[in-house]
Amino acid sequence: MIVDLNLQNKLVVVIGGGNEAEKRISSLLKQNCSILVISDSTSTKVNKLFKAKKIKLKKQKIQDIRFISEFKPHMIITTTNDKKLNHKIINASKRKKIIAYSSDNPEESDFSNPAIIDFDNTIQIAIFTGGQSPAMSKKIKAKSEEALKELITKEDIAQIKIQKIARKFAKESIPSHTQRRECLRKIINDNEIDQLIKDGQIKDAEKRAITILRNWK
Ligand SMILES: C[C@@]1(CC(=O)O)C2=NC(=C\c3[nH]c(c(CCC(=O)O)c3CC(=O)O)Cc3[nH]c(c(CC(=O)O)c3CCC(=O)O)/C=C3\N/C(=C\2)[C@@H](CCC(=O)O)[C@]3(C)CC(=O)O)/[C@H]1CCC(=O)O
Ligand SMILES: NC(=O)c1ccc[n+]([C@@H]2O[C@H](COP(=O)([O-])OP(=O)(O)OC[C@H]3O[C@@H](n4cnc5c(N)ncnc54)[C@H](O)[C@@H]3O)[C@@H](O)[C@H]2O)c1
């Protein structure tokens, strides 16, 4: 089942600082969570992220699971090339009811990582084969990305941003769920908003959406 984790303001500990850590960290960076990497050695990319203050880093070889009680993370991702250690960490996380992921142990991890096609940090499309073939996920991602770029336009992304503002306003000003839905649909299908977005007049498109909301009865 593909779900979206809410990691807002949570601490995520990543053990290991190699290739796999890089992949997991780059997904986490989009989540507005704190990231602490603990690893005895780190790749250039991980070092750069530390220098840019995007992540915290502890250069340390993990030998036991004391870091769990020390940092009390919400989630633990272990990416070391030491299978025994990864296993020890995932077992301890489970005992402590902490969400856990191990790069070499999909069966015992609490979640999986699909291949993600991202549009402007606004739309994410996931490709997943249920662990059958990561390489095929990668291939299908590359194929789909080209086709989807034709389908999903800048205008769609702008409309999503307008809808975000409009939904907040609608939740405060229109009490009925059915009416809110109708009003938001009207904004999506409004020709004037559509044209303003196409002309790059995003502020005016937002204003027009708010006018529709204000006049809704
Ligand atoms: C899609 C993607 C997303 C991402 O990683 O973010 C992803 N793997 C990617 C690439 C990739 N990974 C591997 C290869 C080499 C070929 C091969 O082995 O097949 C390639 C291809 C390449 O690199 O070219 C090796 C590998 N992968 C896993 C294991 C462990 C095991 O199977 O036990 C091993 C063996 C390690 C070893 O041999 O030591 C396990 C998983 N990999 C998953 C995701 C999950 C299932 C996803 C699904 O079913 O769709 C799962 C189950 C992990 C999970 O639970 O999250 C990303 C491409 C996306 C992109 O590039 O955008
Ligand atoms: N899920 C996937 O898609 C996928 C893909 C490739 C590899 N893997 C698996 O992920 C694991 C890691 O692969 P990688 O390519 O990132 O390896 P890597 O060698 O690039 O990185 C391993 C990192 O772990 C650190 N480390 C090792 N022992 C440690 C310890 N005791 N304490 C702290 N840090 C320690 C190393 O310093 C290094 O930074 C492998 O077990 C591999 O089988 C999974």
What would the pLDDT profile of 175-212 be if each residue is shown by its tens digit? 999 999 999 999 999 999 999 999 999 999 999 999 99
Q: What is the CATH number of the domain that holds 48?
A: 3.40.50.720
Distance from Cα 138 to the centre of ligand 1, integer Å: 9
Residue nearest to atom 37 of ligand 2 (CA): 41
3-class SS of residue 190? coil
Longest dimension (CA), the chain: 64
Model ipTM value: 0.94
In this structure, are 7 and 93 located in the same domain?
A: yes
6 shares a domain with 99: yes
C-alpha 138: how far from chain center:
18
Q: What is the pLDDT of residues 128-169, one digit of tens each?
A: 999 999 999 999 999 999 999 999 999 999 999 999 999 999
Whole-structure pTM over 0.90, yes or no? yes
Contact 207 CB / ligand 1 (< 6 Å): no
| For range 35-54, the mean pLDDT | 98
Same domain, 33 and 45: yes
pLDDT in tens, 118-127: 999 999 999 9
pLDDT in tens, 60-110: 999 999 999 999 999 999 999 999 999 999 999 999 999 999 999 999 999
Residues 136 and 201 in one domain: no
169 and 138 in a single domain? The answer is no
Task: Quote the DSSP letter at residue 175.
Answer: -
Asked if residue 95 and residue 18 are part of one domain, the reply reads yes
Residues 102 and 73 in one domain: yes
Range of the domain at 88: 1-113
**Residue 86 and residue 123 share a domain:** no
Residue 171 near ligand 2, beta carbon < 6 Å:
no
Does residue 141 share a domain with residue 187?
no
Which of the four pLDDT bands, split at 50, 70 and 90, describes residue 217? Answer: confident
What angle separates helix 44-51 from helix 19-28, to the nearest 10 degrees? 40
61 lines ligand 2 (CB under 6 A): yes
Tell whether ligand 1 has an atom less than 6 A from the beta carbon of residue 19. no
Q: Is 137 in the pocket of ligand 1 (CB under 6 A)?
A: yes
Q: Are residues 106 and 119 in the same domain?
A: no
Number of domains in the chain: 3
